Amino acid sequence: MNEIIRNTQSSVTPTSLDPQDWSEFRALAHRMLDETIDSIANVRARPVWQPIPEGVRAGFKADVPREASDLADVYRDFSEHVAPYATGNVHPGFMGWVHGGGTAVGMVAEMLAAGLNANLGGRDHMPIEVERQIVDWMRSLFAFPESASGIFVTGTSMANLMAVLVARTSALGTLARQYGIGNDGALLTAYTSQAAHGCVSRAMDIAGLGTDALRKIDVDAGHRMDVAALRAQIAIDREVGFKPFLVVASAGTVDIGAIDDLRAIAQLCREEGIWFHVDGAFGALAILSPELAPLLGGVELADSIALDFHKWGQVPYDAGFLLVRDGEQHRQAFAQPAAYLRREARGLAAGAIWPCDLGPDLSRGFRALKTWFTLKTFGTDRLGAAITRSCALAKYLETRVLAEPRLELLAPVNLSIVCFRYRAAEEVNREIVADIQESGIAAPSSTTLDGRFAIRAAIVNHRTNESDIDALVAAVLEFGGRRTGGVIDVEAPPLAAQ
Ligand SMILES: Cc1ncc(COP(=O)(O)O)c(C=O)c1O
């Protein structure tokens, strides 16, 4: 034990931002916690989403607050003007885009993380071990080797970008980090499907490789990458002197949740010596569901996997993650020596490799804690069961759509995404989506499939049940009827009959 003991009774620092009166702060903080818990527990009593009244939006604008305010007043401002107009994805009627619902457990874990105020860029402290623990769990779930590395990031857009950078460095060598991508880099080509998320193309842009170097391979009727076309495109590119270096497969496409043939693509990448990355933003956590995990066959062969705990993992935003098979290649893409970040054998600067060696961020928050609490508290079996259930609910919605002559299914139902339309013009369907969102009954989003506008329901929230699906269908029929006077367009047969 060190004999130099600190005086723990030091006087209050005049410039400290700590409360003057801890009891008063404690009482208010307890009220905030209680009210936040109430708002989650009673979420069904509120509209899913409501438009921000113009008065609220305008009244919210204010000058830089030079003077102090009472915490109670600031909290009232939040309660009245911010909280009621949030996205709504805590609500079980939220089915737009691919948004997780979060949990009360994740919420309190986030509070604990803020209390520690840990910086997870590096250094030797237990919060980093929490992150490493999750890296280990992910290694184990995806059957990656001991040498694999992983890191929390904002979301899969960032994880995909980092995977492109790791693959780029792997293809060009680490000198490219010093000299730039040069002539060799200009010849690199990457491959993904037409159905891939737009962030893959953006990653190519940001990585300096250019979006034209991303070949978007055709998909089959189920939105899965055509592997024969992929093989042919790689051959054509090699023939003319390009250097294919990366294939990004989707495990759950954003539009309809399709999963590419990961095993066949892995095999092709192995034959061709190409980096195989899986965008599993939405679908990778299907690995937790015994019923769905077989759909991901081949994911264990990937060189890297991107996924989001904030979607099907139900961890509060944000909690994206990148897993890389070869941890050393991962490190070589980002690690950089700096005197002020020197690693030591002992003391607080021990514990290399640090997370800042594995990504672009130096200062990083403790995203791992809310994920650790979520995984431990619920257990992966229960989280997997929620995932299985959301897919069963999607099947229920599919059944409702197929049974209703006024509705048309627009794509096969994969995982938990259902795309359909009211049998009327695109403008009507567009209005229906906005009508439903503004009604507060549900919050679907939309997309375009083969040139046709689709109402899109992605069932991700663990709170959603059959009554929420029924409410969505009833709302589509009600608003569709109001906008068309009940006249429907019966030209296209239901997908099931085609
Ligand atoms: C397949 C896919 N990839 C990438 C992303 C982007 O993920 P994030 O929003 O976490 O950056 C999404 C988002 O929905 C997605 O569905």
Give 309 Cα–ligand 1 centroid separation in angstroms: 11
Instruction: Give the start-to-end residue ranges of the domains of the chain.
Output: 111-375
On whether the CB atoms of residues 353 and 331 are closer than 8 A, the answer is yes
418 alpha carbon – ligand 1 mean position (Å): 17
* Mutate-to-test residue for ligand 1 from 282, 447, 460, highest number of ligand atoms within 8 A of CB: 282
Dist. CA 163 → ligand 1 center (Å): 14
List, chain by chain if needed, residues with CB within 6 Å of any ligand 1 atom. Answer: 98, 155-157, 197, 199, 250, 252-254, 279, 281-282, 308, 320
Which mutation among 98, 154, 304, 414 tests ligand 1's pocket best, with the greatest number of atoms within 8 A of CB? 98
- Of 254, 307, 321, 445, best ligand 1 pocket probe by most atoms within 8 Å of the beta carbon: 254
Predicted pLDDT of residue 14: 83
- pLDDT tens digits, 139-148: 999 999 999 9
Q: What is the pTM of this model?
A: 0.96
200 CA distance to ligand 1 centroid (A)?
10
Ligand 1 centre and the CA of 447: distance in Å? 15
Report which protein residue has its CA nearest ligand 1's atom 12. Answer: 281
In whole angstroms, what is the distance from residue 205 CA to residue 202 CA? 5
CATH number for the region 111-375 comes to 3.40.640.10
Which of 199, 219, 415 is the pocket-test mutation for ligand 1 (most atoms within 8 Å of CB)?
Answer: 199
What tens digit of pLDDT does each residue of 346-376 get?
999 999 999 999 999 999 999 999 999 999 9
> How many A from CA of 117 to the centre of ligand 1?
27
- Cα 322 to averaged position of ligand 1 atoms, centre (Å): 13
Of the candidates 50, 47, 101, the one whose C-alpha atom is nearest the C-alpha of residue 390 is 101
Ligand 1 atom nearest 196 alpha carbon: 1
Distance (Å) from CA 14 to ligand 1 centroid: 46
| Residue-level pLDDT at 2 | 56
Taking the centre of ligand 1 as the mean of its atom positions, its distance from the CA of residue 197, in whole angstroms, is 7
Question: Average per-residue pLDDT in the chain?
Answer: 96
The residue contributing the CA closest to ligand 1 atom 7 is 156
CA neighbor of 168 nearest in space, from 127, 138, 130, 206: 206
Task: Identify which of 87, 95, 157, 219 to mutate to test ligand 1's pocket (most ligand atoms within 8 A of the CB).
Answer: 157
Ligand 1 center–CA 416 separation, angstroms: 15
Cα–Cα distance between 318 and 371 in angstroms, integer?
10
What is the position in ligand 1's atom list of the atom closest to the CA of 250? 1
Q: Among 89, 95, 156, which is best to mutate for testing ligand 1, by the most ligand atoms less than 8 A from CB?
A: 156
Q: Profile the chain (498 residues) by mean pLDDT over runs of 10 residues.
A: 65 87 98 98 98 97 96 98 98 97 98 98 98 98 98 98 98 97 96 98 98 98 97 98 98 97 98 98 98 98 98 98 98 95 96 96 98 98 98 98 98 96 98 98 97 98 98 98 87 47
- Looking at the CA of residue 97, tell me the nearest atom of ligand 1: 14
* Residue nearest ligand 1's atom 16 by CA: 254
Q: Given this model, what pLDDT does residue 497 score?
A: 42
Give 138 Cα–ligand 1 centroid separation in angstroms. 19
Residue 13 is predicted with a pLDDT of 84
Given this model, what pLDDT does residue 494 score?
46
Nearest-atom number in ligand 1 for the CA of 254 is: 16
